Amino acid sequence: MVNIEDLDEVLIVGAGTMGHSIAQVFAQAGLHVELVDISQEKLKHALELIQSNLEILAEFKRVDANQISNILSRIHVSTDLAQAAKNKLYVLEAVSEVPELKEQIFKKFAQYCSDEAILASNTSSLDIFKLVKRIVNLERVIGHHWFAPPHIIPSVEVIPGRKTSQETTELVISLSEKVGKIPIVTKKFTPSYIVNKIQESISASMYELMARGVATAEQIDLAIKTTLGIRLPIVGVVQLHDFTGLDVVQSIQSEKGGSLPIVDNKVEKNHLGVKTGRGFYEYGELTEKEILNKRDRLLLQQLEFLENLTNFRPI
C-alpha cells in the first residue's frame, strides 16, 4: 500500500501546455519530478516556460523569488520513459489528445512502472478506462484532470472509474491536497466530467449565437463578463438558481415544454431557494433579507474589483 508521505517523486509524461505547468506545481510543493517528452526541444521550452511562470508567481508573492532555482532543480527532464518511470508511485500522462498515443503510453506504464504505481491521465475528452482496460489493472487507473494554467487554477478534478480502487482515489485526493490543489471528486465517470461539460454548453451556445448573427464576439463577451462573470465566482451555477427561485426555474422549463425532476421535487416540498430558506442549499436561520444582503455585499466587492481590473475590456 502506497503512503502519501512516501510520495515524493512523480513522473509527468508530455511537457506541452499542461505537462510543463503540472510538473511545476509538484516541484513547487517540494516533490521531485521527472518530466518526459519525445521532443528535446519541447523539454527545453518547458523549462523556459516554468522559469517565466515562476517569475510571475514571485511578482505576486505566490513564490519566494529566492526559491526559483531550488524549484527548478527538482525538475529533471528526459526523453527516456523507461528510466524515468523507475520507483515512481504516481505517474501522469499529459500527452497529446490522441487515443492511440495514450494507449501507447499506458503500454509503457505497464512495462516500466511498479505494480503499485498510480497511473493517472489528464485526458479531457477520452474514456481512459475503456481505452486502457486490456493494458493495465484498472484499479490503479484514474483521471486526474488539471486546468490551464495548472500553476494558477486552484482545483483539479479527480475521476475514478468503476474499477478504480478506493486506495487509488484517496491517494490522488491526498496528493492533490499535498501540492495545494482543491480536489473535486466525481461520483461517477461521465465524458467531459464537470467543468468541461458545463463549458461545452456555453461554447455551443456562443458559436450558435455567432453563426446565426445574433451578436458579435465582442458583444457576447461583454454581455457575459458584465453578468454571469460577476455572479459566478460568488454563487456558482447551482446556487444561482436558489436566488432565481426554483418555482421560477420550473415555470421557465415548462413553458419550453420540458421538465426537470430535480427541480419539480424541490418545488413540491416548497424548497424554492433563498425565498423559503432552502433550495439546493440550506440557509439555516438566515432571513431572506440577510441572505440577499450577504450576496449583494459580495457582488459589490466583486464588481468594484473587476471595474478596477479591466472594466470588462478585452485583453
**Binding-site ranges for ligand NAD (CB under 6 A):** 13-19, 36-39, 42, 94-97, 101, 122-124, 146, 148
Q: At what angle do helices 228-235 and 288-309 cross, to 10 degrees?
A: 130
CB of 204 to ligand NAD, least distance (A): 18
CB of 115 to ligand NAD, least distance (A): 22
Please answer whether residues 54 and 71 qualify as being in contact, where contact means their C-beta atoms are separated by less than 8 angstroms.
yes
CB of 211 to ligand NAD, least distance (A): 24
Nearer to ligand NAD, 2 or 27 (CB): 27
CB of 259 to ligand NAD, least distance (A): 34
CB of 145 to ligand NAD, least distance (A): 6
State the cell numbers at 59.
511578482
Please answer whether residues 38 and 111 qualify as being in contact, where contact means their C-beta atoms are separated by less than 8 angstroms.
no
Nearer to ligand NAD, 56 or 98 (CB): 98
Nearer to ligand NAD, 16 or 229 (CB): 16
Nearer to ligand NAD, 101 or 210 (CB): 101
Nearer to ligand NAD, 14 or 161 (CB): 14
Backbone angles phi, psi at 222, to 5 degrees: -65, -40
Please answer whether residues 93 and 131 qualify as being in contact, where contact means their C-beta atoms are separated by less than 8 angstroms.
no
Mapped onto helix, strand or coil, the DSSP state of residue 265 is helix
CB of 42 to ligand NAD, least distance (A): 4
CB of 59 to ligand NAD, least distance (A): 23
Nearer to ligand NAD, 175 or 291 (CB): 175
Residue 186: which of 156, 146, 159 has the closest Cα? 159
Residue 245's Cβ-side half-sphere holds a number of Cα atoms within 13 Å equal to: 8
Cα separation, 79 vs 120, in Å, equals 19
Residue of closest CB approach to ligand NAD: 16
DSSP letters for 33-75: EEEE-S-HHHHHHHHHHHHHHHHHHHHTTSS-GGGHHHHHHTE
144 has which bridge partners?
158
Nearer to ligand NAD, 56 or 148 (CB): 148
